[in-house]
Amino acid sequence: MTRVVLAGPIPPWRSGIADQTIRLARAMKGRGALPEIVTFRRMYPRLLYPGLSDRGAGDFPTDVGAVRVLLDGTNPLSFHHAGRVVGRDHPDAVVVPWWTVFFGPHARLFLDALAKESPRTVRLLLCHNIVDHEGGLWKRRMAVSVFRRADCFAVQNGRAKEELLSLVPGARVEVIPHPSEPRKVLPDRSAARAQLGVPPEAVLFLFTGLLRPYKGWELLLEAFSRLPREYPEACLVLAGEPWGEAKRLPRRIGALEAVRLELRYLPEEERALWLDACDAVVCPYLHATGSGIAADALAHGRAVIGTRVDGLVEVVAEEESGILVPPGDVEALAEALRRFLRDGLGPRLSAGAVRHRSRFSPDEHARRVLALAGW
């Protein structure tokens, strides 16, 4: 039996990285690997996290095997200790999520200690980003110093692969898109809407996830405001934790009936309910490397209206499971919303989402990650 360690956040830590890590662990277990998780007791220093809290309520899951709470984001030396502890058990592979250079010094210490204790263990970086969305030269240098300590890499799109190879020529890299848990072919929209208070006749566009500038939520508001009055059934929900300017949204939109705000971190169960209730998920990103939200939309059989950016073009089959427009183009986004309403595209695109979603299942994700590590 393959022995794999996943070193990163899992719920109740709040992030798409945490959700993906626990899904990967469960899928590996289902494929006969023996996963163990090394996770955080603390993640970000409070001053560096712009949301309300980076951790939710509840305990760590116990259905995937052992969970060791060894990592402290405020103390890089805890990663050195964790690397030594993991290495003494000589696992076959260690998978480390990589998403921000804030954890660059931490990852270097972990990987160095692991390599010293267990040189034959495969060190795989699961890259959500190559360099932070707000990157710079020093961040690229820090990222390179971490990458040189890994044996292989999983990235979420082709451009990320090109970027990584430009930083570490000759690296072993595979494109493995973001996974999502498939739901019923047709979730019970009516029951979800009754629970959430959404009118049954509404055409619901959903934006969900952290409201950060690069995700284009401001462009979406502008595009939605351009819908003509002949579509009174259209409504927009912004559901997620606001960062920065997004915290002012309640004052900006006032009592606009067609826009509903759910400005807080949504646990997975509540987010799933909104995905069940909506007609289309809107991802108006200015740039991206991957999108768990788009994969989740397909998993729920929901169309995606998004932009042609890395992380979406790999997930959305244009005109089959969604509509893609140029990033930053408000009028093109507004026209995509109008088309969805005018031409009644929901049923056709939802059927396409169901056809394409099996490519992004956690089982397929786990299979490809294990194969990349040599199993």
| 63 or 136, greater pLDDT | 63
Percent of the chain residues topping a pLDDT of 70: 95
Nearest one of 5, 107, 144, 143 to 64, comparing CA atoms = 5
Percent of the chain residues topping a pLDDT of 90: 63
Distances (CA, A) of 362 to 224, 257, 358, 374: 33, 38, 9, 18
pLDDT at residue 255 greater than cutoff 60: no
Sign for the CA dihedral angle at 153, 358, 181, 29 comes to negative
pLDDT at residue 3 greater than cutoff 80: yes
Sheet with 93-98, strands from edge to edge, namely 67-72, 34-42, 3-7, 93-98, 122-127, 152-155, 173-175
Specify the DSSP class assigned to residue 214. Answer: G
CA atoms within 13 A on the CB side of 307: 25
- Alpha carbons 244 and 221: distance in angstroms, whole number: 16
- Residue 265's pLDDT is 86
Distances (CA, A) of 287 to 23, 131, 306, 310: 25, 13, 11, 7
Task: Name the percent of the chain in helix, strand, coil, to the closest 5.
Answer: 40, 20, 40
- Residue 107's pLDDT is 97
The answer to whether the CB of 129 falls within 8 A of the CB of 146 is: no
- Mean of the pLDDT values across residues 170-191? 80
Domain 3-175 and domain 189-359 have a common topology: yes
- Mean of the pLDDT values across residues 228-247? 90
Pick the CATH number of 189-359 from 3.40.640.10, 2.60.120.680, 3.40.50.720, 3.40.50.2000: 3.40.50.2000
Confidence of residue 135 (pLDDT cuts 50, 70, 90): low
- Alpha carbons 285 and 308: distance in angstroms, whole number: 9
- Alpha carbons 175 and 334: distance in angstroms, whole number: 32
Q: What is the mean pLDDT of the chain?
A: 90
- Alpha carbons 63 and 252: distance in angstroms, whole number: 44
Tokens read off for 233: 């059934």
- Mean of the pLDDT values across residues 73-86? 97
pLDDT at residue 134 greater than cutoff 70: no
pLDDT at residue 233 greater than cutoff 60: yes
- Residue 229's pLDDT is 84
pTM of the model: 0.74
| Secondary structure (DSSP) of 147-192 | HTT-SEEEESSHHHHHHHHHHSTT--EEE-PPP-----SS--HHHH
| 55 or 275, greater pLDDT | 275
The answer to whether the CB of 220 falls within 8 A of the CB of 236 is: yes
Instruction: Return the axis-axis angle of helices 346-356 and 292-299, rounded to nearest 10°.
Output: 100
pLDDT at residue 116 greater than cutoff 90: yes
- Residue 34's pLDDT is 85
- So where are the chain's domains? 3-175, 189-359
Cis peptide before 12 (omega within 30 of 0): yes
Confidence of residue 52 (pLDDT cuts 50, 70, 90): low
Tokens read off for 124: 């795989």
User: Is the CATH number of domain 3-175 3.40.50.11930?
Assistant: yes
pLDDT at residue 50 greater than cutoff 70: no
Q: Which residues contact 207 (CB under 8 A, 6 or more apart)?
A: 215, 217, 220, 236, 237, 238, 239, 240, 281, 282, 283, 284
Residue found by looking up tokens 């970027």 in the block: 163
As to burial, measured by CB atoms within 10 angstroms (0-12 exposed, 13-18 middle, 19+ buried), residue 318 is middle
CA atoms within 13 A on the CB side of 15: 20
